[in-house]
Amino acid sequence: MKTPYYAVIFTSSLEENKDGYVEMSEKMVELASQQEGFLGIDSARSEIGITVSYWKDLASIQQWRQNTEHLVAQKLGRKQWYKKFSVRIALVEREYDFEK
């Protein structure tokens, strides 16, 4: 990705009952990838889940945050899937890669 860009860092802990969570998560990744300004996503889950989505600017992030289907997923997350979560937004000014 060409810098600078923004990273939205979403960390979460899930409730015991995760019914429907994986399907909704996959749907949100698919939907986000169709949004203007979306650059990519990385995700990992164990006890704590970490998802980092990458965006070209703050306006793109705000537009995604207000997406109607995303708003529905946010409500469901608060109501039934998440014990807690945090969202952080960071400006990425440089990046380094290594691949063997």
Residue 74 resides in a domain: yes
Supply the range of the domain harboring residue 73.
Answer: 5-92
Residue 80 resides in a domain: yes
Residue 20 resides in a domain: yes
Tell me the pTM.
Answer: 0.92
Confidence of residue 48 (pLDDT cuts 50, 70, 90): very high
pLDDT in tens, 57-96: 999 999 999 999 999 999 999 999 999 999 999 999 999 9
Q: What is the mean pLDDT of the chain?
A: 96
Residue 29 resides in a domain: yes
The domain tally of the chain equals 1
Residue 47 resides in a domain: yes
Residue 16 resides in a domain: yes
Identify the residue with better confidence: 70 or 47. Answer: 70
Residue 18 resides in a domain: yes
Mean pLDDT of all residues in 9-32: 95
- Here the CATH number for the domain that contains residue 55 is 3.30.70.100
Instruction: Identify which of 3, 8, 4 has the alpha carbon closest to the alpha carbon of residue 61.
Output: 8
